[in-house]
Amino acid sequence: MKVVFTGLRPGEKLFEEPLGKDENLLPTPHPKLKVARARQENGDWLQRLERWLRSGGAVDDARIRSELAKWVTDYTPQ
């Protein structure tokens, strides 16, 4: 089987960042396994997000990026 390296495809990542800035790993009985401890979210976060998503209307890319920055802590608009 011939292997052809074509480079990155649009949207393909060079590396993964599995944990957020304020998340960490906790040990388990097995030395090679860890458990992620997720950050705590505000209780009404999901309801506020659903309200925004259901508000509808046409929105431009800049507005969507701005809103995503509010909802996703580690998101940096480009």
In whole angstroms, give the CA distance from residue 25 to residue 68.
26
pLDDT recorded at residue 16:
66
3-state secondary structure at position 15: coil
In whole angstroms, give the CA distance from residue 38 to residue 19.
8
**Strand locations in 1-78, DSSP E?**
24-27, 34-37
pLDDT recorded at residue 57:
67
Q: What's the pLDDT tens digit per position in 13-69?
A: 776 667 777 788 889 999 888 888 877 777 787 888 888 888 876 678 888 888 888
* Band of residue 2 on the pLDDT scale cut at 50, 70, 90: very high
Residues in the chain: 78
* Band of residue 76 on the pLDDT scale cut at 50, 70, 90: confident
In whole angstroms, give the CA distance from residue 42 to residue 56.
24
